[in-house]
Chains A and B, each alone.
Chain A
Amino acid sequence: MSWEVKKGPEIMSQRGWLVDKASLVLLTKARVIDPSQDLDTVTDILIERGKIKKIGDIDKKELENYHTLDLEGKILAPGFFDMHVHLREPGQEEKETITTGSTAAVAGGFTGVACMPNTNPSLDNVGVVRWVYDMAAGGPVDVHPIAAVTIGRKGTQLTDISDLYHAGVRAISNDGDPVGKADVMRRALEYSQLHDLVISTHSEEHDLAAGGVMREGEMSTRLGMKPWSSLAESVMVARDVLLAEFTGGRLHVGHISSWQSIEMVRWAKGRGVKVTCEATPHHIALTDEACATYDSSFKMNPPLGSKEDREAVIQGLIDGTIDAIATDHAPHTVEEKLVEFSFAPNGVVGLETAIGVVANELVNPEKMSWNEIVQKMAIAPREILRLPSASIQEGEVANLTLIDPEAVWKVDASKFFTKGRNTPFDGKNLHAKPLGVLNRGWILICPDARMLWS
């Protein structure tokens, strides 16, 4: 285990988290939700050396030297997985590191993340990718690097996709510098089929984006901000679903945000194209109206959309057009963000608020159930990436997320584990709070829930 990795749990321990590697743990009376196992029931789970030993009635008399975690009224689900984060390491450690990003993931209830290759150097070769795995090895969070599609993410020469696959990579993406040339994208979609890799896209047609800083519409007109048409996204999504259909390659549209793009995916799915997509909590919760104060905490790429876009995102999640929820966690320093809106870099942090925002916007208004949320945030991401499931079954690794669905808490960015403070939700009251995670033998419980442990 890398010494770096222990630092994460150490940081959390110093900030009042319970960090343990107890070998025998009894989780009692939790509402256990795992749609992949058709499971939604209140029961007990016994964990031994990081694996699920038994689900159901457990005779405590047979146990010795065990801890219990009383989870009455709490939700126990397969570990949440964020398939779209920026850990900034290597190269931009002032914004985030694999360690700080992992602590933020744990604090937000995630046991796994897939990190984007827009690092410096970019994740375009086996050496850098292996280094990322090493940095995270043995820690409580599964960190899966998404490698670049082309060398240096420049959009011309394909990376050694097969080598990267053998190093562990399950998805490739050029992230914020999308593959501009349609023929290169076509070749990537063809070649990636060698290993059933998925190509995750940041869909943005450069010329149509035209240097815009917020979604083109009434608000951009009112605020005099350089407009950024939703066409930039939807034209690219249209291109890519056509290429995916033609090639038979697997396409995953990242942070889908406009109703036209969602329509394109819906259309493609109807035709049997191998396409999936994800949406972010901020596109679920917010619209371009949030930019009215010129606060760069509301500046991201893709930008916040119109009311119609937001409704389409929610509808897409409900009807299954949108497969997953991912945060696009993109930390920046305070200094970078505390400037004129137009000068600020794009991106907001999302790991530590995702569950609360989703509960606020989808579960509380009864648009979606916790079962569906678990599907979108724990099951689907791993399926899309062809990663081992985190299903709750006897004999499987105990990869679990604990949630208090009744908690109401106020977001305080100054207390985040991520280095980023750039959240659009600072000061907002959220419902449902992640209480901790179990993964790879680690047990991490937030300070508020320590008393549940004995």
Chain B
Amino acid sequence: MALHSKHLLGLENVPKVDIQSILDAAVSFKEILERPIPKVPTLRHVTVVNLFFENSTRTRISFELAEKRLSADVVNFSASSSSVSKGETLIDTVRNLEAMKIDLVVMRHPMPGAPQLLAKHCSSKVINAGDGSHEHPTQALLDMMTIRETFGNFEDLRITIVGDISHSRVALSNIHGLQTMGAKVAVCGPPTLIPRALEKLGVKIYYDVDEAIANSDVLNVLRIQKERQEDGLFPSIREYHTLYGITRERMKNASRELVILHPGPINRGVELDGEVADGPQSVILQQVTNGVAVRMAILFLLSRGEGGRDELGS
């Protein structure tokens, strides 16, 4: 079963059946990762460019591993975000790469909507690996895979995203994806880090993290970037930690089943205490493993042949 779209630009408007397909396929790919030879020849014919206009070692490595484990040819293209607005345009860059026969672009870009621009003006398939503070669909899917491994399904599951929601692509993708699957999504953070009109997306907003913990099955804790303090969005790291840091003390009020996610890299002692990050309720490393599996599933499902017979002669 193929996905309904040629691209994966975001999770807003991705139908439930597609999310289901990706998560189901990811289970099989996770099995491949555990084999003696964790590699299959499926995408031998596919050339993928990892186009990163912003540093993201983790996401790029995860994609690269996923691509290599499917036997795709992989090219990495990195450019600093400061050079994006100058010189060659994004469309020219990708058309040049396309002239060298590539099939799929995995792009990280600092500006929201950049993947949409590519999808409209270039012929490759596009996977959004994070566009500004818009979406990061593969991260949300790996979060969802991890949640599903723990809880089995999403129906009425209470998931709270804690931290800097305004500048988070992870939050928006999680909100869309989880809501599509029937979960109840909330966010928690100081008012200066919660974007305007977020409640119109059907999201509950907590300003008190203890209340959030008491009413959640899953906490997805986001990284706090120190530069937000410089922007005047909260007074100090110390005060942030006091108000919103997930500490062992706070976790005492949590239900036994509460699971902690974090998209990484963790600022230990800021948004999340080390003890909790390494504790029994943390599934953070499981997320990392699932990241490769989910990305393999997406690469696989987007690369399927189009047209032709449904089944191969035996």
A residues apposed to B, CB below 8 Å: 216-218, 220-227, 293-294, 335, 338-343
Contacts and interface: CB of A to CB of B under 8 A. Distances in A.
Given A338-B89, A339-B90, A342-B132, A225 B195 contact: no
16 contacts: A221-B195, A221-B197, A221-B198, A222-B172, A224-B169, A225-B112, A293-B120, A338-B91, A339-B91, A339-B117, A340-B109, A340-B111, A340-B113, A341-B111, A342-B112, A343-B84
Contact of B117 (A226, A335, A340): A340
Interface string B189-208: 00000011110110000000
A222 B111 contact: no
Contacts of B12: 222
B69 interface: no
Given A294-B112, A294-B113, A338-B89, A224 B197 contact: no
Given A342-B112, A343-B111, A224 B85 contact: no
A341 B90 contact: no
B134 A225 contact: yes
Contacts of B44: none
A331 B3 CA distance: 40
B131 interface: yes
B215 to A, nearest CB: 23
Interface centre among B84, B85, B91, B197 (most CB of A within 10 A): B197
B203 to A, nearest CB: 10
B94 to A, nearest CB: 12
A341 B128 CA distance: 16
Q: Which of A216, A293, A294 has the most CB of B within 10 A?
A: A294
B89 A220 contact: no
B200 A218 contact: yes
Contacts of A226: 132-133
Contact of B132 (A217, A221, A224, A293): A224
A217 to B, nearest CB: 5
Contacts of B134: 223-225
B102 interface: no
B135 interface: yes
A227 B91 contact: no
A341 B113 contact: yes
B197 A218 contact: yes
Nearest to A216: B196
Contacts of A339: 85, 89-91, 117
Nearest to A342: B111
A220 B195 contact: yes
Contacts of A223: 112-113, 134
B117 A294 contact: yes
B196 A340 contact: no
Contacts of A220: 195-196
Contacts of A294: 112-113, 116-117
Interface of B: 12, 84-85, 89-91, 109, 111-114, 116-117, 120-121, 131-135, 169, 172, 195-198, 200-201
Given A221-B201, A339-B90, A227 B195 contact: yes
Residue of A222, A226, A341, A343 with most partner-chain B CB within 10 A: A222
Nearest to B173: A224
B164 to A, nearest CB: 13
A341 B197 contact: no
Contacts of B113: 223-225, 294, 340-342
A341 B131 CA distance: 12
Contacts of B89: 335, 338-339
Nearest to A214: B112
Contact of B197 (A217, A335, A342, A343): A217
Given A338-B89, A340-B90, A222 B201 contact: yes
A293 B200 CA distance: 20
A311 to B, nearest CB: 17
Given A217-B197, A218-B197, A218-B200, A224 B133 contact: yes
Nearest to A343: B85
A214 to B, nearest CB: 10
Contacts of A341: 111-113, 117
A294 B119 CA distance: 11
A9 to B, nearest CB: 36
Contacts of A293: 116, 120
A168 to B, nearest CB: 39
Contacts of B116: 293-294
Contacts of B172: 221-222, 224
A100 B111 CA distance: 33
Contacts of B84: 340, 343
Contacts of B198: 221
A336 to B, nearest CB: 10
Given A218-B201, A221-B201, A294-B116, 11 more contacts: A218-B196, A221-B200, A222-B12, A222-B172, A224-B112, A225-B112, A226-B132, A340-B84, A340-B113, A340-B114, A342-B113
